[in-house]
A and B are shown apart, each in its own frame.
Chain A
C-alpha cells in the first residue's frame, strides 16, 4: 500500500470504516512511513479539537423541564409540585442574579442589589451556580416568605428538588410574585454530600405610588 492510497483512506481509517484487512494495511504503513504518520497525527489532533467542542450547559433543572409539558396523569415519577411553576418560568423578566462558586470556593459574590417589580406581577429570580467540577446529585431548595410565592403555583412558598450540576455555569430561573408589601426573606440552599451553601436575601418590599414594589437584595450570608 503506497502513501497516496493510505492518505486517501485516512478518513475511513480514523472513522473505523475500513474492512479489517485494509485497516491492518493502513496501520502497517503508518508504522513504517514517517510522513504518513505525521499526517495521521495531524488529523488525530484535528479530530480531537472537534471532539472537545462542547455545547453550553443547560439551565438548572433540565430534566424537570423536559417532562414538564407531559400531562400529570401520564407521569409515573416526578411528583414534584415545582415543575408546574418552573415550566412557566420562561416568559418572565429578571429580578435578581447571584453568581456563586460552590463547594470548592467558599467565597460568595455579592449579588445585584435593587430590583423593582409591580405588585402581583411575576418576575424571574435568576441564580447562576458556577461549579469547577460536575456534580452528579445536588439538592436545591428555596423558601419564600408567606406573601411571596412561586408564580403560577398559588400558595407555593417552598420547593426542593434534586439535580445534576454541569461543570461551569448552571442557570436557574424561577418566577416569583409578591402579594403584599411586607419585608421578607428568601432563603436558597444547595446541598451536596455533607456540604451546604445557603443564601439569605432580605426582601424589602414597598408599594410605590404607582403600585410598584421595590425589592432590595442587600447581600447574601
Chain B
C-alpha cells in the first residue's frame, strides 16, 4: 500500500480540499485495508481499487456530515507565515495566480462535476477507471466533464475559439 500513499493523499485532498481532512480520509482507508494486505496483492489495478475505496468512504462521510453543520477549520496559519519569507520567482507568482483562478472556477462547479474534472483532467484517471471508482456510467461522466470544462473556461474567460462557437452555434 505504501507506494500509493502519495497518490491517495492527492485524491483525498482533491475531494476534501483540506489537508487535515485528506489525511484523516487516507488514514481511514489504511486502517481498514492494512490487515488485508495479502488479499490486496491479488488485485490487478490496486491504485484504482484503493481510489474507489477512498472515494466511497468520502461519499459516506459526506452523507454523515451533511447532518452536522459544524465543520472544523484547517490550521493554515503556519504556512501563511512561511509565504511571507523569501523571494518568489515571477513565473511562480503567475503560476500561483493561475492556481487560484482555477480553484475559483472549481468552486463554481457542483460536487459531481468538480470530482470528475479533478480526477480526470488533473489526476489523469481514464473515464473507464472513473466509471468504476465513482460507480457512474461513462456517458454520464462525459456530460459532467463537458459541462465542468465549459464552466471553467467561462470563469477563466477562455471561451472556445470563434470557429468552434460559430460551427456549434
Q: Is the interface of A mostly helix, strand, loop or mixed?
A: mixed
What CA separation (Å) do A103 and B115 show in the bound complex?
37
Does the CB pair B161–A55 fall under 8 Å? no
Q: Does A39 lie at the interface of the complex (its beta carbon under 8 Å from any beta carbon of B)?
A: yes
Q: Does B62 lie at the interface of the complex (its beta carbon under 8 Å from any beta carbon of A)?
A: no
Does the CB pair A59–B19 fall under 8 Å? yes
Q: Does B73 lie at the interface of the complex (its beta carbon under 8 Å from any beta carbon of A)?
A: no
Chain A minimum-CB-distance residue to B10? A55
What CA separation (Å) do A59 and B103 show in the bound complex?
21
Chain A minimum-CB-distance residue to B85? A99
Does the CB pair A17–B127 fall under 8 Å? yes
- Interface code B62-95, partner A: CB below 8 Å = 1, 0 otherwise? 0000000000000001110110011000000001
Q: Which of B5, B85, B146 contacts A62 (CB 8 A)?
A: B5
The number of residues on chain B lying at the interface, defined by a beta carbon within 8 Å of a beta carbon of chain A, is 52
- Interface code A99-134, partner B: CB below 8 Å = 1, 0 otherwise? 101000000010000000000000000101010000
Does the CB pair A74–B85 fall under 8 Å? no
The interface of chain B, by Cβ under 8 A from chain A, is: 2, 5-6, 9-10, 13-14, 19-20, 22-23, 26-27, 30-31, 34-35, 37, 77-79, 81-82, 85-86, 95, 98-99, 102-103, 117, 120-122, 124, 126-127, 138, 142, 145-146, 149, 152-153, 156, 158, 160-161, 163-164, 167-168
Q: Which 10 A-B pairs have the closest CB atoms?
A: A35-B163, A50-B121, A55-B13, A99-B85, A39-B164, A39-B161, A128-B82, A70-B34, A4-B167, A53-B102
The interface of chain A, by Cβ under 8 A from chain B, is: 3-4, 7-8, 10-12, 15-17, 35-36, 38-39, 42-43, 46-47, 49-56, 58-59, 62-63, 65-70, 74-77, 90, 94, 97, 99, 101, 109, 126, 128, 130, 164, 169, 171, 173
